[in-house]
Chain A
């Protein structure tokens, strides 16, 4: 199925949706059934967060395998009376969450798709203990290769890890979407058995005059759901897209629903330079300009009268004949200036 056919199919599907349940599912029918699933594990970890550091230490390191689903549960462990939030971020993966007196637990979920060292840090520079929350490192290493005898020459190659088949990808919106009001877009990924696929980044797009524009991205949580907050700036019918770009062991998938955004219920802030009095100001300026042009018209009417005036003799005694006409210039005395000019 070509991309155009798929888009058309999506459009037809999306058009049939009601606002009450604007949800769209896309299954990747192109993927073959895999013979084996990727050998990954879920890493469920819990850490205490306080002004003294992660688990009350400044330096902390854990190791996970590439492809692992990492779920880090952060529990706030201070007794502050006031607010002292810590925005904890996994650098390189872009996943973050906030814990503090008001929200004492948060879970960061991501799939360890890249090998290397990734710091987990607090991004709130004003919090108490900020400097102690900079030393947590996650090492992502490639899985150990199986040991054993080397394959004999001529033996068939080992099969590569198969991709996860039949991803079910869905995007859902609230029942009513209005211009200027924040909404939560949710994208969900499940495998063919209905198991959530967690920890991968989902990127959201919308169409614009200049083509697709990225509006944000979010990581799928343990339920396979990625949530993005978004405030539509314009009313109208728009095509959205949520895309999973694929990863080792997983094919890419996307859904592209068409959503109608209703007009705002309230008047949005007016940024026009002339507030409120625009109409009357324009009318006044228009009146002034019209007056100027009316004056021009009046002067031109005087020219018309000059052109159509009767050529009777004047106080200077012209006869009106052009050939004798030095006195046709008012006030001129025979050739005073012309001699010089």
Chain B
């Protein structure tokens, strides 16, 4: 619990730098609010830009919590214990940031209320609103439940701490004393949430994909978009977990708890998802190439040889092939190698979302010229601020709550019943 008690100068410097980037992003957004969407690169043909790419990207990252925590908890994978908290926190933070982007994408954000007042249930945008709000609520509950015993632990054991922390821990611990009745209720709550959050998470990214797939536009209208997006989301979610694990392991000296075995297990999961994503990608583009309608060929040639070829090939090679090689070869399957592979995956998959959104928008449905789009400083600033905001939220979270679940790790180390006691032996953490 040392990070909760002592804070160095470097932490404040880091937070100040992140806050400055967020502040710059807010200034950029105020410019957009004042002068309208003309400050962005979006115009009549390309009316979705990096904001929607960011939206899909962050919603994708949010799948980290579901896979690592819920699926591994349900399947009693004991090695999950030190990483569940990070995964669950990533989910909530990513959703909080990602859900902002459709609002940022509106020139008049107050018109978001129209979706609530006049939204039609036939619209995938309304489905998105329902599924994301459901997922965010569930993820917050799912993050909070396993925190309760730890918060009670902070409440009872943190000495010489500030008044607000004492008050916060007292309120959030819900009077936890570890009684049999409390443990039984907590165990039931976590078990139920672990099961329900999986289909909810899968539905979220499926619905996000339907925003594209339900249209008649070339490059979007595809029946495999649902699973394609879900696999991509889990892929980037795992990559994000690996990067977060490495960062916190290094900064908070968690080498005893987050071991190479955790990286290796997640790395192999990443490889499986990488192969699955390659499979879906081949399906997606080969089908379009084989059909070879004029509009499909225009789009594919723009992707493969044209103005978007750099983005596309960076995604294909940098995000799929190179990470797969790094993970598959034992010599490069080190912690450093896995972190590099994960960073590559995250950057490349952002570009993948970019080449999903932009070229299709730029590809006209009428016999007119291609649309042009280049993000402006406003869009890049808001994008940078969102990433900084995500890291800032995570950093602050790690100062208020332990980033590793104390009770789960301790329980695993003692070989006691896991998930607040279900009779399974464990303990290799």
Q: Which of A144-152, A167-175, A330-338 contacts B (4 or more CB under 8 A)?
A: A330-338
Contacts of B257 in A (CB 8 A): 337, 340-341
- Cα A331 to Cα B86 in complex, Å, equals 21
Whether a CB of chain A sits under 8 angstroms from the CB of B137 is yes
Other-chain residue from A272, A316, A337 in contact with B178 (beta carbon distance below 8 A): A316
Whether a CB of chain B sits under 8 angstroms from the CB of A233 is no
Cβ contact within 8 Å between A282 and B152: no
Q: Which of A37-45, A79-87, A135-143, A317-325 contacts B (4 or more CB under 8 A)?
A: A317-325
Q: Which of B65-73, B106-114, B404-412 contacts A (4 or more CB under 8 A)?
A: B404-412
- Cα A293 to Cα B183 in complex, Å, equals 23
Other-chain residue from B2, B156, B253 in contact with A323 (beta carbon distance below 8 A): B156
Whether a CB of chain B sits under 8 angstroms from the CB of A299 is yes
- Cα A338 to Cα B1 in complex, Å, equals 5
- Name the distance in Å between A195's Cβ and chain B's nearest Cβ: 46
How many contacts A-B (CB < 8 Å)? 154
Contacts of B141 in A (CB 8 A): 296, 299-300
Other-chain residue from A272, A274, A309 in contact with B179 (beta carbon distance below 8 A): A309
- Name the distance in Å between B346's Cβ and chain A's nearest Cβ: 26
Q: List B284-326 residues whose CB lies under 8 Å from chain A.
A: none
Other-chain residue from B178, B200, B417 in contact with A329 (beta carbon distance below 8 A): B178
Whether a CB of chain A sits under 8 angstroms from the CB of B176 is yes
Cβ contact within 8 Å between B174 and A331: no
Whether a CB of chain B sits under 8 angstroms from the CB of A58 is no
Whether a CB of chain A sits under 8 angstroms from the CB of B175 is yes
Whether a CB of chain A sits under 8 angstroms from the CB of B9 is no
Cβ contact within 8 Å between B2 and A341: yes
Q: List A270-289 residues whose CB lies under 8 Å from chain B.
A: 272-274, 278, 282, 289
Contacts of B182 in A (CB 8 A): 305-306, 309
Other-chain residue from B153, B180, B192, B256 in contact with A340 (beta carbon distance below 8 A): B256
Q: Residue-by-residue, is B149-187 near A (CB-CB < 8 Å gives 1, otherwise 0)?
A: 110110111000000000000000011111111110110
Whether a CB of chain B sits under 8 angstroms from the CB of A307 is yes
Whether a CB of chain B sits under 8 angstroms from the CB of A310 is yes
Q: Residue-by-residue, is B109-124 near A (CB-CB < 8 Å gives 1, otherwise 0)?
A: 0000000000001100
Other-chain residue from B150, B175, B414, B417 in contact with A307 (beta carbon distance below 8 A): B175
Given A295-B196, A320-B177, A340-B257, A272:B122 Cβ within 8 A: yes
Other-chain residue from B155, B157, B176 in contact with A338 (beta carbon distance below 8 A): B157
Cβ contact within 8 Å between A331 and B192: no
Contacts of A282 in B (CB 8 A): 121
- Name the distance in Å between A298's Cβ and chain B's nearest Cβ: 7
- Cα A330 to Cα B403 in complex, Å, equals 18
- Cα A307 to Cα B420 in complex, Å, equals 17
Cβ contact within 8 Å between B121 and A302: no
- Cα A332 to Cα B81 in complex, Å, equals 13
Residue in chain A with minimal CB distance to B429: A337
Residues of A within 8 A of B (CB-CB), count = 45
Other-chain residue from A322, A323, A341 in contact with B404 (beta carbon distance below 8 A): A341
Contacts of A21 in B (CB 8 A): none
Cβ contact within 8 Å between A273 and B406: no
- Cα A309 to Cα B175 in complex, Å, equals 8
Q: List B1-22 residues whose CB lies under 8 Å from chain A.
A: 1-3
Whether a CB of chain B sits under 8 angstroms from the CB of A327 is yes
- Cα A329 to Cα B157 in complex, Å, equals 11
Residue in chain B with minimal CB distance to A312: B179
Cβ contact within 8 Å between B178 and A330: yes
User: Which of A325, A332, A340 counts the most chain B CB atoms within 10 A?
Assistant: A332
Whether a CB of chain A sits under 8 angstroms from the CB of B56 is no
Whether a CB of chain A sits under 8 angstroms from the CB of B416 is yes
Given A341-B2, A341-B252, A295:B192 Cβ within 8 A: yes
Cβ contact within 8 Å between A299 and B145: yes
Cβ contact within 8 Å between B406 and A341: yes
Whether a CB of chain A sits under 8 angstroms from the CB of B332 is no
Contacts of A309 in B (CB 8 A): 175, 177, 179, 181-182, 185
Given A337-B409, A341-B406, A330:B421 Cβ within 8 A: yes
Whether a CB of chain A sits under 8 angstroms from the CB of B130 is yes
- Cα A322 to Cα B421 in complex, Å, equals 23
Whether a CB of chain A sits under 8 angstroms from the CB of B335 is no
Whether a CB of chain A sits under 8 angstroms from the CB of B148 is yes
Whether a CB of chain A sits under 8 angstroms from the CB of B402 is yes
Contacts of A323 in B (CB 8 A): 156
User: Which of A278, A302, A312 counts the most chain B CB atoms within 10 A?
Assistant: A302
- Name the distance in Å between A315's Cβ and chain B's nearest Cβ: 7
- Name the distance in Å between B413's Cβ and chain A's nearest Cβ: 6
Given A272-B122, A295-B192, A310-B181, A330:B149 Cβ within 8 A: yes
- Cα A282 to Cα B402 in complex, Å, equals 43
Cβ contact within 8 Å between A292 and B3: no
Contacts of A298 in B (CB 8 A): 192
Cβ contact within 8 Å between A341 and B254: yes
Whether a CB of chain A sits under 8 angstroms from the CB of B193 is yes
Whether a CB of chain B sits under 8 angstroms from the CB of A326 is yes
User: Which of B122, B149, B153 counts the most chain A CB atoms within 10 A?
Assistant: B153
- Name the distance in Å between A300's Cβ and chain B's nearest Cβ: 7
- Name the distance in Å between A338's Cβ and chain B's nearest Cβ: 5
Whether a CB of chain A sits under 8 angstroms from the CB of B376 is no
- Name the distance in Å between B256's Cβ and chain A's nearest Cβ: 5
- Name the distance in Å between A291's Cβ and chain B's nearest Cβ: 9
- Name the distance in Å between B66's Cβ and chain A's nearest Cβ: 14
Whether a CB of chain A sits under 8 angstroms from the CB of B138 is yes
Cβ contact within 8 Å between A326 and B153: yes
Other-chain residue from B137, B214, B406, B421 in contact with A332 (beta carbon distance below 8 A): B406
Whether a CB of chain A sits under 8 angstroms from the CB of B375 is no
Contacts of B34 in A (CB 8 A): none
Cβ contact within 8 Å between A311 and B175: yes
Whether a CB of chain B sits under 8 angstroms from the CB of A206 is no
8 pairs, CB–CB < 8 Å, chain A vs chain B: A272-B122, A299-B192, A325-B177, A329-B407, A331-B411, A336-B413, A338-B157, A341-B403
Binding site for A on B (CB under 8 A): 1-3, 121-122, 130, 134, 137-138, 141, 145, 148-150, 152-153, 155-157, 174-183, 185-186, 188-189, 192-193, 196, 200, 214, 252-254, 256-257, 402-404, 406-407, 409-411, 413-414, 416-417, 420-421
Going nearest first, the 3 A-B pairs with the smallest beta carbon separation are A325-B156, A331-B411, A302-B189
Binding site for B on A (CB under 8 A): 272-274, 278, 282, 289, 292-293, 295-296, 298-300, 302-303, 305-307, 309-316, 318, 320, 322-333, 336-338, 340-341
Q: With contacts A314-B180, A337-B409 known, what are 14 further pairs, Cβ within 8 A? A: A289-B134, A292-B200, A303-B185, A309-B181, A309-B185, A310-B179, A310-B181, A311-B175, A322-B155, A326-B153, A329-B178, A331-B410, A332-B406, A337-B257
